[in-house]
Structure 1
Amino acid sequence: MRPFHSLARRIAPSARRFIQRLDKNYQPVQYCSQLTKPRLISTSSDRPSQPHGIPQTRLDSKSHPLGWQTIQAQVEPYFAKNWKFSSEKAKQGFLAVGFSQAFSQFFPLTLNERVEGTCKMHYLALLIDDQLEKMSLSDMLSYRERVIRIAHGEESPDRDICIEWMLSDTLQFIRNTDEILANDFIKGFCTLLRAQTAEERLTVAHLGPYLTAREVDVGRTFYAALIRYGAKLHLSSAELAQTTALESYAFRFMGVLNDIYSWDREWKVYQEDPTDGTRPFSAVYILAQETGLSFEACKRLLYSYCRELELLLKQSGEEIKRQNGDTLRPDMAKYIKGLEYLMSGIEQWSQWTPRYK
C-alpha cells in the first residue's frame, strides 16, 4: 500500500486476470528490514544517512521548525474526535502511521499560521482516498463527483457526514486565508481525485506511460499547490511554466519511491487473492514484466532511477537560475527548494512508517 492509495486496484475487480502467473515462491527483498527511525528535526544542509544497499541521496532535508509533536497536537485531536472511523482499531491504526511526522518532513516551509489548515487538508485527502476505495465503482464515481462539487462550493455539505462538512469547513478556512492560492489548491485536489479513480489506469502496461500517469496519480497538482499555499508563494505564469520539468522529476520520484517501499506489502496482498482480476499498479511489477528481472533487481534499478531524478532536479534548478541572470525571486527559489524537501521527506518517511510494514 502506498501513502496515497491506488484506487484503480479495486475499480474493476472482474476486469481481467493476469496474463501470466508470477512465481508465488519468490520472496522480494525487504529494503526496510534494517532501518531505524531517522531524526525528525534537521537543518536544510543535513542529508539523511542511507541504509546499506541504497544509493546516497543528493537531496537536502528539513523538518518543520514547530516540530511534528506540536503539529500533531494541533491537528490529530480534530480527526480523532470528528472522523467516523469504522472501529477503534482503525482509528488507532490511522493515527499510528505518522502523518504529522510526514507533514513536518514533506512541507517544512509551511508558515506557522497556515500549518493547521494545510495539514488538515493533507489528512483529509488521505482519509477521503481510503473511504472511496471501499466503495463499488458506481458508488465511487458518483460520490467522487459530489466531493468535487462540495470542494468547489457548488453544493452544501451534509452536516451528518464527516467527509463532507470537514472538507467544506477546511477549504473555507483556506479560502479565507488566501483565496488566490486556495483556488489552485482546490483544482489540484479535484485533479487528484479524478486521477486516482480513473479506469484508464487499468490499461497501462508499459513503464513510460506508467511514469507519466503516476505523476498525476500521486497528486502532482495538489501537493505542488499545497507547497505554494502553505509557504505563501505567489508565482507568475511564466515562473510556473519554468518549474514544469522540476515538478515532473519530483513527482515521478515520489511515485516510484512509493512503489519501491510499498511493493512487498502490495505483492503479499495480491498473493493472498490473485484471482480478483486486478494487477499491481506499480513500477516494480511493470519493470519486472518488461525485463524478466526479479522484483529485487527491479527495486535496485528503480532506486537508481530515483537518484537520477534527483540529479535532474538539481541541474534543472541551476539552469533556471542561469536563465534568470543567476538570481531568482525569493518565492521562486523557495518553491524549488520546497520540491526538494518534499522528495527527501517522502524517502525518510517511507523508511520508517509502519504503513509499509
Structure 2
Amino acid sequence: MRHFSRACARHLALGLRIGIPRPRPYELPRNSTFKQITTSLSRYSSEAPLHHQLYEIPPSRLESKIHPLGWEAIQAQTEPWFDQHWEFASEKEKEGFFALGMSRAFSQFFPLTLDDRVEMTCKLHYLILLIDDQLEKMDLLEMLSYRNRLIQIVRGQSKPDRKKCFEWMLFDTFQLMQSTDDVLARGLVEGFCALLQAQTTEERMSVKHLGPYLEHREVDVGRPFYSALIRFGADLHLSSPELSQTAALESCAFRFMGVLNDIYSWDRESKVYQGNPTDGARPFSAIYILSQETGLSYTACKRLMYAYCRELEIVLKQSIEDLKQENGGTLRPEMDKYTKGLEYLMSGIEQWSQWTPRYRQ
C-alpha cells in the first residue's frame, strides 16, 4: 500500500545464512503456462538453498510440522482455480505470484488442517495475499471503498459482482466454509473484517513507539483472522473460557509473526521507502521504530528483534505449561491441538520466510 506499507501475508519473507552462496535469480520463461510455472516451482523449491545472512540466526525452540498431504498436492488442489479465474494484470504478475510458493507456505503454516478442508482454507489463504496486492495499488479513498465493499460481501450484506473476480471468488469461498461449519466460519468472517480494518486504519500512522506498535501489529498481522483459520481448518471448537485462556498464547504468537515479518521484509521495505520518502508514510516496522528510538543501525535492530522473537518462544512454551497446570495438568484435546497449531504457525512462518524467492529478486 502506498500510504500504509505492507499487509499481513505478503511480507513474511527474506532469510539469509552465513557461508551459503547467493542463488541465481529465479526466472520463468516468457509466456509460461500454468503447468510450466508449477513444474519450474517444484524443481526450484527442492533445490533452493537458504539466503546468505549478515549474522547468525539464533536457534529456534519451536516444533515444526508439514501437512501430511504435501505442498504439491495442496498446490494441485488450489492454484489452477486462480490460474483460470483471477485477473492478473500481466503474465509477469501471474508468474511472480505462483513463484512465491504459497502452497508450501500453507503446508507449513497450517499442518493440522483436515484433508477435506484444505482446498477451501488454502484458497482463502491465497485470496488474502491477492487482496493485499490490490490494496497496494490504491490511493486512500480507493482503499477504503474497496475494504468496505469486501466487508459487506463477506458479511452477506451485499451480493458479489460476478464480473469482478475478487468479489465472487471471496464470496464463494466463504459460502463454502459456512456450509461446512457455520460456527467456525462466522469467526473467520469477523477475523477477515478485523484484518482489513487494521491494515487500512489511519491510526497506524501515529504509532511511534515500540510498545504501542507491537500491540497494534498483533491485529495488523492477522491475529483474529489466522487464529480463526487454524481453528476452522482443524475443526477446533473452543469455548469462550478456553479462548480467553489462550489469548496470551495468541498474543505471543502474533507478536512473533509480526516482528519476524518486519525482520525479513525490512531490506525490501527500506528500499521502497528510500526511493519515495515523501509519500506521506514512515515504514510501519519494528526495525524502523527501534532504530529511531535507540539510534542503532537497522542491522543491529534486526539482531535485537530476532533475539526478542526467541524470547517469545520461551514465553510461549512456559505459558502452555502454565495453562496445563491451571487445568489440572492436561488440556482438553481440542485445546491442546490449538496450542500446537499456534506453535506450528510460528515455526512455519520462519521456515518459509527463509525459503521463499520473493526477496531474492
Unaligned runs of 5+ in 1: 12-29, 42-47
Q: Is 1:203 aligned to 2:187, yes or no?
A: no
Structure 2 counterpart SS, 1:208: helix
Match of 2:56 in 1: 53
Distance 2:183 2:249 in 1: 22
For normalisation by structure 2, the TM-score amounts to: 0.87
In angstroms, what is the RMSD of aligned CA positions? 2.2
Match of 1:261 in 2: 264
From 165, 171, 175, the counterpart of 2:174: 171
Q: Is 1:8 aligned to 2:4, yes or no?
A: yes
Query: 1:291 deviation in Å?
Result: 0.4
Give the letter aligned to residue 303 of structure 1.
Y
Distance 1:356 1:307 in 2: 23
Structure 1 counterpart SS, 2:68: coil
Query: CA offsets, 1:120-149, max 9 Å, x none?
Result: 000111111111221121111112111001
From 103, 121, 127, the counterpart of 2:106: 103
Give the letter aligned to residue 197 of structure 2.
R
Alignment of 1:65-104 (within 5 A): 65-104=68-107
For normalisation by structure 1, the TM-score amounts to: 0.88
Match of 1:141 in 2: 144
Distance 1:275 1:166 in 2: 36
Distance 1:327 1:6 in 2: 47
Match of 1:18 in 2: none
Q: Is 1:245 aligned to 2:248, yes or no?
A: yes
Q: 2:242–2:335: 8 Å Cα contact kept in structure 1?
A: yes
Q: 1:7–1:196: 8 Å Cα contact kept in structure 2?
A: no
Q: Which moved more, 1:275-284 or 1:112-121?
A: 275-284
Distance 2:73 2:3 in 1: 32
Structure 2 counterpart SS, 1:255: helix
Cα 1:263/1:68, change in 2 over 3 Å: same
From 336, 344, 348, the counterpart of 2:347: 344
Distance 2:356 2:5 in 1: 22
Match of 1:15 in 2: none
Alignment of 1:285-296 (within 5 A): 285-296=288-299
Q: Is 1:279 aligned to 2:316, yes or no?
A: no
Distance 2:261 2:15 in 1: 12
Query: 1:9 deviation in Å?
Result: 2.8
Query: CA offsets, 1:196-236, max 9 Å, x none?
Result: 00111011100000000100001000000000000000000
From 314, 318, 321, the counterpart of 1:311: 314
Distance 1:153 1:79 in 2: 23
Distance 2:111 2:15 in 1: 26
Unaligned runs of 5+ in 2: 8-13, 24-44
Match of 1:335 in 2: 338
Distance 1:213 1:245 in 2: 15
Structure 2 counterpart SS, 1:85: coil
Query: CA offsets, 1:236-278, max 9 Å, x none?
Result: 0000000000000000000000000000111111122222222
Distance 2:325 2:313 in 1: 19
Distance 2:203 2:290 in 1: 19
Query: CA offsets, 1:19-53, max 9 Å, x none?
Result: xxxxxxxxxxx85265699xx99xxxxxx9x9761
Query: CA offsets, 1:322-357, max 9 Å, x none?
Result: 000012111000000000000000000111111222
Give the letter aligned to residue 271 of structure 1.
Q
Distance 2:17 2:93 in 1: 24
From 219, 223, 244, the counterpart of 1:216: 219
Cα 1:140/1:331, change in 2 over 3 Å: same
Q: 1:59–1:340: 8 Å Cα contact kept in structure 2?
A: yes
Distance 2:144 2:239 in 1: 34
**Structure 1 residue ranges, 4+ long, deviating more than 4 angstroms after superposition:** 33-37
Give the letter aligned to residue 117 of structure 1.
M
Percent identical among aligned pairs is: 66
Match of 1:32 in 2: 16
Q: Which moved more, 1:318-327 or 1:275-284?
A: 275-284
Distance 1:7 1:188 in 2: 23
Give the letter aligned to residue 32 of structure 1.
L
Q: Is 1:190 aligned to 2:193, yes or no?
A: yes
Cα 1:108/1:275, change in 2 over 3 Å: same
Structure 1 counterpart SS, 2:238: coil
Cα 1:208/1:155, change in 2 over 3 Å: same
Query: CA offsets, 1:128-178, max 9 Å, x none?
Result: 111122112111111211100100111100000001000010000000100
Distance 1:287 1:148 in 2: 34
Aligned residues: 327
